[in-house]
Chain A
Amino acid sequence: MSTTPHPDPLPRAGEGYLGPAIVVDKLRISMSSGSRTDIVDDVSFEIAPGEVLGLVGESGSGKTTVGLALLGHTRRGVQITGGSVRLGDSDVLKMNDDELAHLRGRVVSYVPQDPAAALNPALRIGTQMREVLEAHNFGAGAEARTQRVAEMMREVALPDDPAYLNRYPHELSGGQQQRVGLAIAFACRPRVIVLDEPTTGLDVTTQAHVLGTVRDLAAAHGVAALYVSHDLAVVGTLAMRVAVMYSGRIVEIGPVLDLFRSAAHPYTERLIFAIPHLTGGRELIGIAGRAPSPGRRPPGCSFAPRCEFVQDRCNAALPELRPIAVGHRVRCVRAEEVRGHMQRQSTNGVHEERASQAAVLTLTNVNAGYRRTTVVHDINIELSRQECLALVGESGSGKTTLARSVAGLHSIRTGDMLLNGVPLANAARNRPREQRRTIQYVFQNPYGSLNPRRTIGHIIRQPLELFGSSKDIDKKVAEMLDRVSLSATYAERYPDQLSGGERQRVAIARALVCDPQVLICDEVTSALDVSVQAAIVDLLASLQRDLGLSMLFVTHNLPLVRSIAQRVAVMSHGRIVELGPVDTILKSPEDAYTRRLLSDTPSLEVALETAESG
Chain B
Amino acid sequence: MSVLNPLVTNEPPLVQPRRATGVLRQALTLGRTRVGVALLIIVGGIAVFGPLLAPHGPQDYLGLLPNQGASAKALFGTDHLGQDVWSRFLDGGREILLLALAATVIGLVVGVTLGLLAAYTKGFIDDALMRGMDVILAFPSIMLALVAIATLGPSYWLVIVAVGLTNIPRVARITRAAAQPIVERDFVAAAEAIGVPRLRILFVEILPNVLSPLMVEGSLRLTYSIGLIAGLAFLGFTPNPNGADWGVMIQENYVALSVQPWGVVLPVVAIAFLTMATGMIGDGIARAAAGIDRTRSAE
Chain A interface (Cβ within 8 Å of chain B)?
283, 285-290, 293, 306, 308, 407-409, 428-429, 431, 433, 436-437, 439-441, 443-445, 448-454, 462-463, 466-467, 485-487, 489, 493-494, 496-497, 499, 501-502, 505, 507, 510, 535, 538-539, 542
Contact = CB atoms under 8 A, between A and B. Distances in A.
Contacts of B196: 462, 466
A493 B20 CA distance: 15
Nearest to B16: A497
A393 to B, nearest CB: 20
Contacts of B191: 462
A494 B16 CA distance: 9
B8 A496 contact: no
Contact of A449 (B4, B20, B187): B187
Interface in B171-216: 185-187, 189-196, 205, 208-209
B194 A466 contact: yes
Contacts of B193: 407-409, 428, 436, 439-441
A2 to B, nearest CB: 38
A536 to B, nearest CB: 10
B135 interface: no
A487 B10 contact: yes
B10 A285 contact: no
Contact of A451 (B15, B17, B192, B205): B205
Contacts of A306: 4
B195 A466 contact: yes
B2 interface: yes
Contact of A441 (B17, B20, B190): B190
B209 A409 contact: no
B8 A409 contact: no
Majority secondary structure, B binding face: loop
Contact of B17 (A286, A494, A499): A494
A467 B191 CA distance: 12
A342 to B, nearest CB: 15
12 contacts: A288-B5, A290-B11, A308-B4, A428-B194, A439-B193, A440-B193, A449-B186, A467-B194, A489-B10, A497-B14, A497-B15, A499-B14
B25 to A, nearest CB: 16
B13 to A, nearest CB: 4
Contacts of B189: 409, 441, 443, 449
Contacts of A467: 194
Given A290-B9, A429-B195, A497-B14, A443 B186 contact: yes
Residue from A288, A293, A445, A542 having most chain B Cβ neighbours under 10 A = A288
Contacts of A539: 1
B7 A428 contact: no
B192 A453 contact: no
Contact of A453 (B6, B14, B195, B208): B208
A55 B13 CA distance: 29
B194 A462 contact: yes
A548 to B, nearest CB: 16
A453 B19 contact: yes
B26 to A, nearest CB: 15
Contacts of B185: 448-449
B131 interface: no
Contacts of B1: 538-539, 542
Given A433-B195, A462-B196, A496-B18, A449 B6 contact: no
A535 B195 contact: no
A486 to B, nearest CB: 6
B2, B3, B185 interface centre (most CB from chain A within 10 Å): B2
Top 4 closest pairs, chain A to chain B, by CB: A453-B208, A449-B186, A497-B13, A288-B4
A286 B4 contact: yes
A285 B209 contact: no
Contacts of A501: 7
Given A287-B4, A462-B196, 15 more contacts: A286-B7, A288-B6, A409-B189, A409-B193, A439-B193, A441-B189, A441-B190, A449-B186, A454-B208, A485-B5, A485-B6, A485-B8, A494-B19, A496-B296, A497-B15
A443 B194 CA distance: 13
B9 A289 contact: yes
A452 B186 contact: no
Nearest to A538: B2
Nearest to B209: A453
A428 B195 contact: yes
B13 A437 contact: no
Contacts of A440: 193-194
Nearest to A287: B4
Given A409-B193, A453-B209, A496 B299 contact: yes
Contacts of A428: 192-195
B7 A496 contact: no
Contacts of A407: 193
A502 B7 contact: yes
B187 A450 contact: yes
A162 B34 CA distance: 61
B218 to A, nearest CB: 18
B125 to A, nearest CB: 16
Contacts of A452: 209
B15 A496 contact: yes
Nearest to B296: A496
Nearest to A286: B2
Contacts of B7: 286, 288-290, 485-486, 501-502, 505, 535
Contacts of A409: 189, 192-193
A274 to B, nearest CB: 10
Contacts of B8: 485-487
Contacts of A489: 10
Contacts of A485: 5-8
A450 B192 CA distance: 13
Contacts of B19: 453, 494
Contacts of A507: 190
A450 B187 CA distance: 5
Contacts of A493: 13, 17
Most buried by A among B8, B13, B195, B196: B195
